[in-house]
Amino acid sequence: MSADQITYLLIHGAGGTKSKWRALAPLLGDRVKAIDLPGHGASNLPVMSSIVSYAEALAEGVQGDKVVIIGHSMGGLVGIELAARCPNIEGLVLAASHYKLPVHPKILEDLQKGTFPESLFYASYSREADKDLLQQEKQEIACNPIQAVHSDFACCSTYDGEKTLASISMPILALYGAEDRLLPRGSEEAIQRVNNGVNPAFVDHAGHYVMLERPEETAKIILEFAKTL
């Protein structure tokens, strides 16, 4: 398959919007579709209550003959479910994601009370993250109601996609920021045990938001992956 025939569907993570792809999307070519999940950003649909519900809501809109899903964090969980449902998806990129993303109860408690934990914010980026980027990202927090953000993290906390991931036979790229402090320890080894078709790749000097901190390196890895499809 020619890489320029691929349509990339970009799915943001918990508490995010399609703006999270603002640095990466232009580097992937012309066939890119970044979406706001229901209840996020410009979407006027209600927030979903589970990862499976998000996937079901998106499945009918996954159009094109050769689609590659790129899901960040929670978006990767949605991507796993979509990959199991949609026959036109030919590749899956799990960007700073896994088949389950447990959330500490204190984070859920803070979000339920209406506060986005500052410690969670800073842990989402590498220690050398650009200060201007961090300022932009602080403003991004207000793009969604805090209730939607809490719902997202609750969805992550209750989802386990191990069996679904194991059933997927398409090529999968697991793309990690080398300084990611949010993913469970041993994620790389665990995901390869579940599905030996997963190919890991690392981006240096990047945390959980790898596509914002190092968009050029992230795009290069994804485009190389696309050439193998």
What tens digit of pLDDT does each residue of 120-135 get?
999 999 999 999 999 9
Q: How many CB atoms lie within 10 A of CB 142?
A: 9
The pTM for the full model equals 0.96
Tell me how many domains the chain contains. Answer: 1
Q: Does residue 62 surpass a pLDDT of 90?
A: no
* pLDDT at residue number 224: 96
CB distance 117 to 107 below 8 Å? yes
Determine the Cα–Cα distance for residues 31 and 226; give it in Å rounded to an integer: 13
Helix ranges restricted to H, the chain: 51-59, 74-85, 105-112, 118-123, 131-140, 146-158, 162-167, 187-194, 210-213, 215-227
The domain in which residue 181 lies consists of 3-227
* pLDDT at residue number 63: 72
- At residue 79 the predicted structure's pLDDT band, cuts being 50, 70 and 90, is very high
- At residue 211 the predicted structure's pLDDT band, cuts being 50, 70 and 90, is very high
* pLDDT at residue number 65: 75
- Domain CATH code at residue 55: 3.40.50.1820
Instruction: Give the CB-side neighbour count of residue 214, counting CA atoms within 13 A.
Output: 24
